[in-house]
């Protein structure tokens, strides 16, 4: 039993044309036992910047809280919403501080650049190595399954409805092949002027 | 081998726990109370290491009381839950981690909502309609899944609780003689009759 599989999660972020989507499962489990099926993994970091945390739930909470703290201070000093690239550096720095006793939780960032509106997604390893994605980024115990599904469904310049379909199907089918993730799914579609949260009908097993 | 269980209704949260105090194969006490009032509307049930549980619960209780003394108002349920979570999250990476799993029953007097928090020994936290800790959880959760509804009355919740206890009596190897039951609502924390298995 690996510490990364103690709680279980499925997280995917995808880019579209002037929009991004981030989707997660909603299971909170402790090894084989499911505790709750409406667990929120996605945290809002800015009007068009969202972060989803995978892995060990206690560290997911801690990292999200510490990130929000640093982000709030940044925005108070700079008086503007943070740029996703800068945010990635912030995340990377926070995780690397624990290089020899890491957080067992990795964030997936999805957002739009506040000025240009360009889609932006990024994934990390547990010590902060950032991967800025061009198409999609996956994480969690279903990471590999999600990679395969996304490769099949993603294509460039998806509009927001096509993006929603692609990310939803990728998530639902990938998490069905993972016993530690699933029990519900939700998608956030992030556009320049609004963010829509949709709850998917998923297999509850 | 501890067991605690919580069920949340429209305006109440019922918490119950076993009353065994055991060390290895020896049962020291069969009427040991492990629940603690953190303030007028916060009730903590703990499972895990007995000594850690006492230290942890009392430390949290005193600090939550201190907040109230300093500020003049009760610590809200969400704040208390996050405070407890952080305490356990810091503890897990310290030299001597606390081995305590917590169920926190709360009534938020401002939003007028009951809350039940599941917090495990590492600091993972979730807001839940019902939850249980310990091996007994494996037997109980399915039963509550079957009979639970958010609008159930206190008597209905107690009858579901009794169903779980009957199941534990029948199929769980550890013998729990009695269960301590308390309820949190807008009026505060109340002791209910012990359930004798």
**DSSP result, chain B:** ---EEEEE-SSEEEEEEE--EEETTEEEESS----EEEETTEEEEEEE-HHHHHHHHHHHHHHHHHHHHHHSSPPPHHHHHHHHHHHHHHHHTSSS---EEEEEEEEETTTTEEEEEEE-TT--EEE-SEEEESTHHHHHHHHHHHH--TT--HHHHHHHHHHHHHHHHHH-SS---EEEEEEEETTEEEE-PPEE-
Residue B154 confidence (pLDDT) = 96
Q: What is the mean pLDDT of residues B30-57?
A: 95
Q: Which residue of B has its CA nearest to A40?
A: B126
Q: Under an 8 A CB cutoff, do A56 and B137 touch?
A: no
- Residue-averaged pLDDT of chain B: 96
Q: Shortest Cα distance from A184 to chain B (angstroms)? A: 15
Write the residue in A7, A33, A101 that is nearest to B124 by C-beta. Answer: A7
Q: Under an 8 A CB cutoff, do B123 and A61 touch?
A: yes
Instruction: Tell whether B79 is within 8 A of chain A (Cβ).
Output: no
Q: Under an 8 A CB cutoff, do B124 and A57 touch?
A: yes
Q: Shortest Cα distance from B110 to chain A (angstroms)? A: 23
| The pLDDT of residue B1 is above 90 | no
How far is the C-alpha of A52 from the C-alpha of B26, rounded, in Å? 46
Q: Shortest Cα distance from A30 to chain B (angstroms)? A: 9
Phi-psi region of A79 (alpha: psi -120 to 50; beta: other; left: phi over 0): left
Phi-psi region of A74 (alpha: psi -120 to 50; beta: other; left: phi over 0): alpha
Q: Shortest Cα distance from A32 to chain B (angstroms)? A: 10
Q: Which pair of structure tokens corresponds to residue B102?
A: 């917590």
Q: What is the mean pLDDT of residues B103-114?
A: 96
Residue B196 confidence (pLDDT) = 92
Residue B82 confidence (pLDDT) = 97
Q: What is the pLDDT of residues B123-181, one digit of tens each?
A: 999 999 999 999 999 999 999 999 999 999 999 999 999 999 999 999 999 999 999 99
Residue to mutate among A58, A59, A64, with most B CBs inside 10 A, is: A58
Q: Which residue of B has its CA nearest to A27?
A: B126
Residue B125 confidence (pLDDT) = 97
The pLDDT tens digits along chain A (205 residues) read 799 999 999 999 999 999 999 999 999 999 999 999 999 999 999 999 999 999 999 999 999 999 999 999 999 999 999 999 999 999 999 999 999 999 999 999 999 999 999 999 999 999 999 999 999 999 999 999 999 999 999 999 999 999 999 999 999 999 999 999 999 999 999 999 999 999 999 999 8
Burial B78-115 (b: 16+ CB within 10 A, else e): eebbbebbbbbbebbeeeeebbbbbbbbbbbeeeeebb
Q: What is the mean pLDDT of residues B44-72?
A: 96
How far is the C-alpha of A112 from the C-alpha of A175, rounded, in Å? 26
Residue B197 confidence (pLDDT) = 82
> What are A's interface residues with B at a Cβ cutoff of 8 A?
7, 28, 30, 33, 35-36, 39, 56-59, 61-62, 101
pTM (2 decimals)?
0.94
Residue A72 confidence (pLDDT) = 97
Q: Which residue of A has its CA nearest to B90?
A: A62
Q: Under an 8 A CB cutoff, do B125 and A36 touch?
A: no
């Amino acid at each position: 039993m690996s510490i990364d599989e103690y709680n279980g999660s499925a997280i995917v972020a995808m880019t579209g044309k002037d929009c991004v989507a981030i989707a997660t499962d909603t299971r909170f489990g402790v090894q084989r036992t499911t505790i709750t099926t409406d667990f929120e993994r996605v945290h809002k970091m800015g009007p068009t910047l969202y972060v989803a945390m995978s892995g060990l739930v206690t560290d997911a909470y801690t990292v999200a809280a510490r990130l929000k703290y640093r982000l709030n201070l940044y925005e108070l000093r700079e008086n503007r919403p943070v740029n996703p690239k800068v945010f990635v550096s912030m995340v990377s720095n926070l995780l690397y501080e624990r290089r020899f006793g890491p957080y067992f939780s990795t964030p997936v960032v999805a957002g739009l650049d506040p000025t240009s509106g360009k889609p932006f997604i990024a994934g990390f390893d547990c010590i902060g190595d950032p991967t800025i994605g061009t198409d999609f980024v996956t994480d969690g115990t279903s990471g590999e399954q999600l990679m395969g599904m996304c490769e099949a469904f993603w294509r460039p310049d998806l509009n927001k409805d096509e993006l929603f379909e692609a990310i939803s199907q990728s998530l639902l089918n990938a998490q069905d092949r993972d016993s530690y993730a699933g029990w519900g799914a939700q998608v956030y579609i992030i556009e320049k002027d609004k963010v829509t949260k949709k709850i998917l009908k998923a297999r509850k097993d | 081998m501890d067991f605690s269980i919580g069920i949340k209704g429209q305006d109440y949260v019922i918490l119950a726990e076993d009353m065994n105090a055991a060390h290895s194969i020896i049962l020291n006490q069969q009427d040991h109370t492990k629940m603690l009032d953190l303030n007028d509307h916060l009730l903590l049930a703990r499972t895990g290491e007995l000594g850690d549980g006492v230290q942890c619960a009392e430390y949290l209780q005193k600090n939550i009381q201190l907040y109230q003394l300093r500020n003049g108002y009760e610590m809200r349920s969400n704040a208390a839950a996050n405070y407890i979570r952080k305490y356990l999250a810091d503890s897990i990476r310290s030299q001597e981690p606390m081995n305590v799993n917590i169920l926190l029953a709360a009534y938020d007097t401002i939003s007028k909502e009951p809350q039940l928090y599941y917090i495990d020994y590492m600091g993972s936290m979730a807001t839940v309609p019902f939850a249980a800790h310990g091996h007994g959880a494996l037997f109980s959760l399915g039963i509550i899944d079957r009979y639970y509804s958010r609008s159930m009355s206190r008597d209905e919740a107690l009858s579901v609780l009794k169903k779980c206890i009957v199941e534990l009596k029948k199929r769980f190897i550890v013998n729990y003689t009695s269960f301590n039951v308390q309820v949190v609502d807008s009026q505060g924390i109340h002791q209910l009759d012990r359930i004798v298995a």
